[in-house]
Amino acid sequence: MSEPPNEMVADLDALISKTFTVRLLGRDRKVKPISTEVFFGVTAALSKLSALNGKTDFKQKELVQAYYDVFQTVVDPISWADIEAMTSAQCAALLQVIIDSVSGKIYAANEKKKTLMPPPIQ
């Protein structure tokens, strides 16, 4: 006797990264696919950023450096000056986009939007 098919829990094919674009500070920026090597660098940078989270005595330069270490590996182009010009909400949103791209969540959400959109009116 065969069992009924299970509901899909995760689409691991969605983890195959593709370059996508974000608009930041009036410019389009490419968010590049994250290779395994880059992933470890991003993970280390995220760890440093997380360590700053509970501190009250950190310097602004430390925070900018932590964001720069994460962003510069995957966002093209981005500079130190760009990060200094970003609001905390923009930094948090870009960080979330990068995390979602690593987990495949951003790609799965885009695919879902494509399937939910009605066909164009002719």
pTM for this entry: 0.72
For residue 66, report the phi and psi dihedrals to the nearest 5 degrees: -65, -45
Beta strand extents in 1-122 (DSSP E only): 20-24, 27-31, 75-76
Task: List per-residue pLDDT tens for the chain, 122 residues long.
Answer: 566 666 766 666 656 667 889 999 999 999 988 877 888 888 888 888 888 887 888 888 988 999 999 899 899 999 999 999 999 999 999 999 888 887 777 655 555 555 555 555 65
d(CA 74, CA 39): 10
For residue 26, report the phi and psi dihedrals to the nearest 5 degrees: 80, 5
